[in-house]
Amino acid sequence: MGFRQLAWRALFLAGCVSAIDFNINNNETIKKSATVEFENLLVNGVLDGTLSPINDSGYPEGMLYSSLIPYWSATGNATYNSLILMRMESVETSVFNATWKGADVPTSEYVSWGLAAMAAADVDFPFPGDRKKSAWVFWAMAVGYKLDMIINRGAVCDGGLYDDESQKNGTEFDWFSNGAYFQLVSRIALAFPPNKGTFINYADNAWSWSEKNGMVNTTDWTVSQMVSNTTTVNGSTCTAVDTSRWSYAYGLYLSGAAHMYNVTGSDTWRTRTEGLLNSTLDTFFVNNILVEVGNGSASVANHPSIAFKGFLALCLASVANLIPDMADQIVPLLKDTAVAVAEQCDGSSNQTVCGSDWGNSTYNNDPSFGNTWNAANVFTSYLLTQGNLTTGA
Ligand SMILES: *[C@@H]1O[C@H](CO)[C@@H](O)[C@H](O)[C@H]1NC(C)=O
Ligand SMILES: *[C@@H]1O[C@H](CO)[C@@H](O)[C@H](O)[C@H]1NC(C)=O
Ligand SMILES: *[C@@H]1O[C@H](CO)[C@@H](O)[C@H](O)[C@H]1NC(C)=O
Ligand SMILES: *[C@@H]1O[C@H](CO)[C@@H](O)[C@H](O)[C@H]1NC(C)=O
Ligand SMILES: *[C@@H]1O[C@H](CO)[C@@H](O)[C@H](O)[C@H]1NC(C)=O
Ligand SMILES: *[C@@H]1O[C@H](CO)[C@@H](O)[C@H](O)[C@H]1NC(C)=O
Ligand SMILES: *[C@@H]1O[C@H](CO)[C@@H](O)[C@H](O)[C@H]1NC(C)=O
Ligand SMILES: *[C@@H]1O[C@H](CO)[C@@H](O)[C@H](O)[C@H]1NC(C)=O
Ligand SMILES: *[C@@H]1O[C@H](CO)[C@@H](O)[C@H](O)[C@H]1NC(C)=O
Ligand SMILES: *[C@@H]1O[C@H](CO)[C@@H](O)[C@H](O)[C@H]1NC(C)=O
Ligand SMILES: *[C@@H]1O[C@H](CO)[C@@H](O)[C@H](O)[C@H]1NC(C)=O
Ligand SMILES: *[C@@H]1O[C@H](CO)[C@@H](O)[C@H](O)[C@H]1NC(C)=O
């Protein structure tokens, strides 16, 4: 079924007129398509350091660089590199170099800055002046260390990171902060051998906590939205109080597990990666096309969650690269999804605006920041699975 569909789509697309000129068999056209969609995403924004529309849209700012840095790596287009650098350096003192209390940002913001630094470390993002490129991993570690201290101080549920709303004294723990922390420390464990032991330990603990408290269920391999203290005894084990599924939640835990498998080679991490990969592919792909499910569908069009699936695509690309024998399961799906998204991206008078109905080849007149971002991330994700493309860019 996947093959038939792909052949049909490829044929159709060959005759389709869109200003993004996308051809899945030509990496240069995919790069151009990613470039056009990032331009659409940011062209009307104020990128002077205050960064509208990101700052008005509910996304942690670091997420933007976790997407623009891989874009640079996949395409070689350095247009946004100075913006990335300026923004990262602008929070060096207030976030990366601050105490947890001093930073005074929500946990989701904080961990997202850590992931942005990790994205930079992973691809040797340039650092001008006499600073070494390798310094990025120290920025990421600064976040990892501080979050580890917060986790261990948690009185409720024996650890874990509170969600933003109950950060100070609440009892709820969300997938975003906990999944992102797990992914962050797993990536550091792989990227920085001298501190491997410490970060493997952090990642082991983060996984165990997630499993013990019902965030990740290793029987059916689901990841829940929220866990909380619902027990009637002190010492409290938490359970899932909201089992909504979000694509990026699976992406964070899945790619974290893949990093752990890559760094440890252990059967346990292999099983965890496989289990989450199975449930992710079963849950978030319909007819080979990436979909958000549950709360994440069209009813929340302008909610930040719209762009989660593009981040799942980036996570899947990293799994395919880290565990080559899983690439066969992943790459064809990213490929079909990229083709399907491209078909939605011929809206508006410039014929580059993306709709949201990826199952339909006709632009559905539903433009949004999140849809554009998804398209850019999906194109980038597919490129990341196609080898080192930056040569000659
Ligand atoms: C580019 O695309 C082609 C065709 O899809 C693919 O076979 C190739 O491996 C890709 N990567 C590079 C680095 O050319
Ligand atoms: C790099 O991106 C910029 C901004 O989107 C674009 O104007 C430029 O043409 C791109 N460069 C290449 C070589 O594609
Ligand atoms: C394409 O058109 C859309 C909708 O009119 C607009 O928001 C976007 O900025 C345009 N793209 C560019 C690169 O100007
Ligand atoms: C976002 O940045 C814009 C542009 O500088 C600014 O006008 C706006 O107040 C900022 N919004 C928030 C929520 O900080
Ligand atoms: C933080 O401060 C220390 C000491 O002043 C400095 O060496 C380090 O490079 C700074 N930056 C980060 C990201 O830790
Ligand atoms: C967990 O919840 C129960 C019941 O609400 C409460 O008695 C207990 O103190 C809580 N445990 C912690 C550590 O907050
Ligand atoms: C958290 O503590 C603050 C004061 O420190 C209090 O005003 C607020 O009601 C508390 N919130 C919860 C959910 O307990
Ligand atoms: C995990 O999933 C299984 C199968 O759906 C279910 O029976 C079990 O109750 C779940 N465990 C927890 C802790 O929710
Ligand atoms: C994942 O799916 C494959 C194929 O159905 C199956 O063989 C494997 O046991 C599954 N892995 C886990 C951990 O559930
Ligand atoms: C770890 O990832 C690299 C590619 O980044 C790959 O070459 C290597 O085979 C992987 N190791 C394992 C144990 O999967
Ligand atoms: C695809 O979109 C077109 C135009 O909006 C609509 O007429 C058609 O019914 C849709 N097809 C499917 C299969 O949803
Ligand atoms: C990709 O190719 C470029 C240009 O040849 C090179 O500078 C870069 O180191 C390569 N990256 C990787 C990860 O091999």
pLDDT of the residue at 182: 98
> What gap in Å lies between CA 26 and CA 28, rounded to an integer?
5
- The residues, ordered by sequence, that sit 6+ positions from 150 with a Cβ below 8 Å of its Cβ are 100, 107, 161
pLDDT of the residue at 236: 59
390 lies in a domain?
Answer: no
**Domain count for the chain:** 1
Mean pLDDT of the chain: 89
> What gap in Å lies between CA 365 and CA 357, rounded to an integer?
9
Closest CA to 337 of 313, 318, 354: 313
53 lies in a domain?
Answer: yes
pLDDT of the residue at 295: 57
pLDDT above 50 (res 298): no
Q: Contact, 74 vs 80, CB < 8 A?
A: no
296 pLDDT band (50/70/90 cuts)?
very low
Q: Which residue has the higher pLDDT, 318 or 51?
A: 318
Q: Please give the residue range of the domain that contains residue 106.
A: 8-384
- List residues bridging with 223 in a β-sheet: 216
Closest CA to 314 of 245, 246, 248: 248
DSSP 8-class letter at 134 = G
2 pLDDT band (50/70/90 cuts)?
very low
pLDDT of the residue at 60: 92
pLDDT above 60 (res 181): yes
393 lies in a domain?
Answer: no
Over the stretch 104-151, which tens digit does the pLDDT of each residue have?
A: 899 999 999 999 999 999 999 999 887 888 899 999 999 999 999 988
Q: Residue whose CA is closest, atom 12 of ligand 6?
A: 156
- Number of Cβ within a 10 Å radius of residue 77: 17
Q: What is the CATH number of the domain that holds 309?
A: 1.50.10.20
Burial profile 42-73: b = 16 or more Cβ within 10 angstroms, e = fewer? beebebeeebeebeebebbbbbbbbbbbbbbb
For 22, the token pair is: 């996308």
339 lies in a domain?
Answer: yes
20 pLDDT band (50/70/90 cuts)?
confident
pLDDT above 50 (res 5): no
Over the stretch 328-339, which tens digit does the pLDDT of each residue have?
A: 999 999 999 999
Q: Is 386 in the pocket of ligand 1 (CB under 6 A)?
A: yes
- Residue spans of alpha helices (H) in the chain: 2-14, 27-42, 54-57, 62-75, 81-90, 100-103, 107-122, 136-153, 175-191, 196-212, 247-264, 267-284, 308-322, 327-344, 369-384
What residues does ligand 4 touch, defined as CB less than 6 Å away?
Answer: 46, 50, 52, 55-56
**388 Cα nearest atom in ligand 12:** 1
pLDDT above 90 (res 390): no
176 lies in a domain?
Answer: yes
> What gap in Å lies between CA 133 and CA 43, rounded to an integer?
28
Q: Is 275 in the pocket of ligand 9 (CB under 6 A)?
A: yes
- The residues, ordered by sequence, that sit 6+ positions from 99 with a Cβ below 8 Å of its Cβ are 146
Distance 221 CA to ligand 8 centre (A): 9
Backbone angles phi, psi at 380, to 5 degrees: -60, -45
For 128, the token pair is: 């001008």
In this prediction, what percent of the chain has a pLDDT beyond 90? 70
Name the 3-class secondary structure at 228: strand
pLDDT above 70 (res 315): yes
335 lies in a domain?
Answer: yes
- The residues, ordered by sequence, that sit 6+ positions from 139 with a Cβ below 8 Å of its Cβ are 88, 92, 96, 114, 117, 120, 121
- List residues bridging with 290 in a β-sheet: 285
pLDDT above 70 (res 195): yes
392 lies in a domain?
Answer: no
2 lies in a domain?
Answer: no
pLDDT above 60 (res 167): yes
Residue of 156, 157, 166, 237 to test ligand 6 pocket, by largest number of atoms within 8 Å of CB: 156
As separate numbers, helices (DSSP H) first and strands (DSSP E) second, the chain gives 15, 7
